[in-house]
Amino acid sequence: MNHPREEVLFALLADTPPERQTVFLDATCQDDFALRQRLEARLTELQQSDTVVDPGSSADQPTVKAQIPKEEPDEAIGPTVGRYKLREKLGEGGCGVVYVAEQSEPVRRRVALKVIKLGMDTKQVVARFEAERQALAMMDHPNIAKVLDAGATSTGRPYFVMELVRGHRITDFCDQAKLTAKLRLQLFVKVCHAIQHAHQKGIIHRDIKPSNILVTRLDSEPVPKVIDFGIAKATEGRLTDNTVYTQLQQFVGTPAYMSPEQAEMTGMDIDTRSDIYSLGVLLYELLTGKTPFDAKELIASGLDGMRKTILEREPSRPSTRVSTLVMEELTTTAERRSIDRSQLVHLLKGDLDWIVMKCLEKDRTRRYETANALAADIARYLSDEPVTARPVSTLYKFQKSFRRNRLVFASAGAVLLALVAGLCLSVWQAAVATRERKAAEAARMAETEQRLAVQTALRRAEAERQRADDNANRASTNALLAQAEATKSTQVATLLKDMLAGVGPSVARGRDTTLLREILTNTVSRLDKEMADQPEVEADLRVILGRTYRDLGDYPASTAMNRRALELRRKALGERHESVAQALNELAKSEGLRGNWAEAEQFQRKALAIRRENREVTDLVIADMQNDLGILLWNGGKLGEAMAAYRAALEIKEKQLAPPNEKLADAHLNLSLLLLDRGDFAQGEAEARTALAAYRQLFGDGHPKVGMALHNQAKMLVELEKNAEAERAIESAVGIYKQVYPGDHEYVAEALDDLGLILQRQGDFTRSETAFRDSLAMSKRLLGDDHPRTLSAMRHLALLKAREPIDPEAEELIQKAETLTRQRYAKQPAMLAACLSDQGAYLIRTGRPNEAVPILQEAFQVTTNGGRPAIERKRAASQLSQLYSKLGRTKDSEKWANEAVRIPAD
C-alpha cells in the first residue's frame, strides 16, 4: 500500500500540466530519488493507459479520433457505453475521462459521460468517483450540472452521465467577452447561489476554481454551471456506501484555490466556509486576472512551502495587486474589463477590497458565514449600499448615500444655489423698500386716526350680534365637545397600543420590566370599565396585551387576553373578518406555548382559512400563517404535515424576499428544528447557520432571535458530536436570553436544560446538574409541574443521578414525571412514549432491567409509524434490542433490532 503522502503527490502530479511536471518533481522530491522513480513510473503507466488524442485538436478540448473506440487501449470502453455512443473526448482529470456521448432513447440528445481512467479503478478512486456522482445527484439548481444516469461498463468501470455543458472557464469567458466588473460580479453572484444550494444539501465542493465553473449562453444570457464535485465532501455522514479517501494528512484540492484549513492537513473538520475562501480566490481572479498566490510559485515551492504560504502569508489586496502589475499587463487586464487602466485600481480600492479580503481570512470564523451572505454583500456593493465587510463610518455612509441618490443631491444643490441667489436679491429689495416706507409713514399716520373711529363703531355692532348668537351656538358647542372627547379616547387608545408594542422584552433588551408589568395590570383593570362602548378599540388593545404577556412568558394571561379579543371581534365584525383571523392566529400561538397543540392547531387552521378567502395564496401573510401552522404541527408530532407547511412558507418567502430578511430567516430557523427531529442534523445546522447570519446582519449580536438561532445550532452540533462548539453556542444563547428576559422565562429554562445535556455528554456532571436544577426550578415557577418543559427537566435530572444504590431524589423525580405525564398527556403518544423511554433507561441504569422491559414495550405500543411518535417508537425498539442483548436473549434482541429498522422515517 502506498504512503498517504505519495498518494497526495501523485494526485497533484497527475493534475499538473506536462510542461510543469519536471519542476513539480524537482520541488517535491528533492533528494528522495526512490520517491521520484515511483512517481515517474506511475505517471508513465497512467499516460500509457490514456486515450489516444487527435493531435489536430485544441488543447482545451481534445477530440477522440473516429476510429479510436475500435482500437487499443480504448477497447476496455468500446464505442458504446450502455445506451450511449461515444462521440468525442472532452477532457480528463486525475482519475476520470469525460466524453461527449449521444443518447438515442428514451430521448435523443447529447450528454457528457464520465468514466474512470483505465488503471485508476482502485478502491480509493472508485469511492471518490461514486461520491461525485452522489453529490451531483443530490442537487437540483440551474447553475449546477445535472446527473442524468449512472452505471458501469462491460468491464466494470463505473461511469455516470450528466448534462452536456458546452462552455468556457468562467475567467476565460469574462476575458473574451471583455465583461465589466459589474457584469463579472453579477455572474459571480449566480455561482454563489449555486454553492449555497450545494451547502444546503450538505455538500462542500472543496475544489472551486475557474475550470470547474463553465459559462455557456442561454437565450444570449451568460449562465454559469458548477461542475466536477470529484472531491466534494458531505458535511455529515457519507456520500456513498464506500469510504471516500480524504484521510488525515491528505492534501485535497487545487493549491491556488485551497483554504488554509485544507492546506493544514491536521484533521481539522472542513466546513462550508472552506468554499467561501475558494470563492474569494475566484472573485480575486475575476477582478484582477491573478490569484492571490501564484499557482506556479506554489507548485515550485514544494508541499511544505505551499502549505506555509497558504497558512501564514497574507495576500495583497486586489487593488494593491493590480497597481503592481507592469504597464503592459495592467493595460491588458484593464482592456479585458472594458475600463481604462487608470480607473481599474480606483474601482477595486475600497468595498471590493474589503469583500474579497473577508473571504480570504485565515481564521474561518471571520469569513462570510454563507455563500448567500457573500452574494448579499456584492448586491449591496452593486446597489451603492454599505457593505458588511467594511467597518462603517459616518463619512462612508454619506458617500454611499450620495452615490445612490446623485439626482437627489444634485437637486438639493440646485435648490441651495437658488436660495443663495434669492437671498442676495431680497437684501437689495429690502434696502429699496426701507426708503419707500419712510416716505409713506407720514401719510399712514393720518389715515390711522380715521380708521380707529370706524373700528370702534363696528365693535359695538359686533357685540350685539354675538350676544344674539350665543344661545344658538351653545348646543352646537356641547356636541363638538362630546365628539372631541371621543376622539381623544381613541387617540389615547392608539397611543397606549404603540407604547405597549414598543416596551416588550424583545425591545427592552434586558431592562427591568417591573414597571411594564405594573402598566399591564393597570391597563387590564381599566379595560372593562372604560372601553365598553368601543369594542374594536378594546379588542386591539387586548391583542397587544396578549403579545406582551406572551413575550414576558406569561402564557395563561396571554391566552385570556386573546380569547376576549376574539370574542369582541366576532361580535362586532362577524366570523370571517380579517381581524378575526388575526385574533385566532394570536390565540393559536398562546395555546401552543401552553402545550395545547391540538387546540392551537384548530385555531390556526381557522385563521388560515379566513386569510385564504381574503388574500392571495402567495401573499407573505399566508406564508407567515403556514409557518406558524408548521410550528404547531411539529410540536404536535405531525412531522410530515409540518414539513409541507414549512416548505410552502419558505417557497413564498424566497420568491418575494431578498436576504437578509427577518421573515426569511425565521423560515430557515423553524425548518432547522424539523430537520433535527428527522435526523438530518447537517442540513439542520446549515439552516440554523443561515438564520443566524441573517439575524446578526439585521439586529447585531444581542437580539433574542440571535439567541434562538444559536440555541438551534447547538442542538444540531451536539448530534454531530461537535460538543465543544455546541457548548459555546448554547452558552451564548443562555447569555442573550438572560440579558433580554431578566427573571424567569421559558427560553432561559429550555436553554439551561439543553446546556445540561451537552455538559453531560462531555462528562462535566457537576455543571450539568446545576443547569438541570436551574431549568427545573425556573420551569416550575413559570409553567407549573405538568408543563412539557418542566417534565423534561425532571427526567433529565433523574437520569443524570441514576445509579446504584438508588438515589431517593432521582427515584421521586422519575416517578413524578411518569404520573403527571399519564394524567395530562395520555392522549399524546409522542409525549407519553418519550417519558416511558426515559423511565426505561432510568430503570436499566439503576440495575432493574427486568422492570424496564414492560415499560419500554408500552412505549413502543402507544406510538405509531408516522410523525414524531415514530421517532419515539424507533427509540423504544432500539432500547429493547439493546436491553435483550444485555440479558443474553439474542433472538429477542434481533427481533427488536429488525423492528427498529422497519420503522420508516417521516
Q: Are residues 823 and 873 in the same domain?
A: yes
Catalytic residue, chosen from 74, 207, 666, 677, is: 207
Give the residue-averaged pLDDT of 900-905.
73
Distance in angstroms (rounded) separating the CA atoms of residues 748 and 737: 6
Q: Given pLDDT bands bounded at 50, 70 and 90, which one contains residue 265?
A: low
Q: Are residues 455 and 509 in the same domain?
A: no
pLDDT digits (tens, 9 = 90+) for 411-432: 444 433 444 344 344 444 544 4
User: Of 578, 613, 648, which residue constitutes the final position of a domain?
Assistant: 613
Task: For residue 554, give its domain range.
Answer: 496-613
Q: Are residues 825 and 886 in the same domain?
A: yes
In a domain, 588, yes or no: yes
In this prediction, residue 49 carries a pLDDT of 45
In a domain, 817, yes or no: yes
Q: Are residues 805 and 906 in the same domain?
A: yes
In a domain, 54, yes or no: no
Residue 70 clears pLDDT 80, i.e. is over it: no
Q: Are residues 517 and 566 in the same domain?
A: yes
In a domain, 414, yes or no: yes
Q: Are residues 580 and 513 in the same domain?
A: yes
Q: Are residues 820 and 895 in the same domain?
A: yes
Rounded to two decimals, what is the model's pTM? 0.43
- Nearest CA to 513 out of 573, 553, 564 is that of 553
In a domain, 864, yes or no: yes
How many folded domains does the chain comprise?
3
In a domain, 730, yes or no: no
pLDDT digits (tens, 9 = 90+) for 184-240: 999 999 999 999 988 887 788 888 999 899 999 888 889 999 987 755 554 433 343
User: Of 559, 585, 613, which residue constitutes the final position of a domain?
Assistant: 613
User: Of 598, 613, 628, which residue constitutes the final position of a domain?
Assistant: 613
Q: Are residues 446 and 530 in the same domain?
A: no
For this structure, is 351 an active site residue? no
DSSP for 237-302 reads S-SSSSPP---TT---S-GGG--HHHHH-S-PPP-HHHHHHHHHHHHHHHHHSS-SS-HHHHHHTH
| Parallel, antiparallel or unpaired: strands 213-218 and 233-234 | unpaired
User: Is the CB of residue 135 less than 8 Å from the CB of residue 232?
Assistant: yes
Q: Are residues 823 and 870 in the same domain?
A: yes
**Alpha-carbon distance values, 518 to 495, 515, 531 (Å):** 17, 5, 19
Cis ω for the linkage preceding 660 (within 30 of 0): yes
Burial-class residue 37 by CB neighbours within 10 Å (0-12, 13-18, 19+).
exposed
Range in 125-129, 380-384, 503-507, 687-691 with the lowest mean pLDDT: 503-507
Q: Given pLDDT bands bounded at 50, 70 and 90, which one contains residue 402?
A: very low
DSSP for 736-786 reads HHHHHS-S--HHHHHHHHHHHHHHHHTT-HHHHHHHHHHHHHHHHHHH-TT
In a domain, 180, yes or no: no
Q: Are residues 425 and 502 in the same domain?
A: no
Q: Given pLDDT bands bounded at 50, 70 and 90, which one contains residue 111?
A: very high
Give the residue-averaged pLDDT of 762-776.
93
Distance in angstroms (rounded) separating the CA atoms of residues 259 and 364: 9
CATH code for the domain in which residue 854 is found: 1.25.40.10
User: Is the CB of residue 903 less than 8 Å from the CB of residue 870?
Assistant: yes
Around Cβ 307, how many Cβ atoms within 10 Å?
20
Q: Are residues 602 and 515 in the same domain?
A: yes
Q: Are residues 504 and 608 in the same domain?
A: yes
In a domain, 330, yes or no: no
Mean pLDDT (the chain) is 78
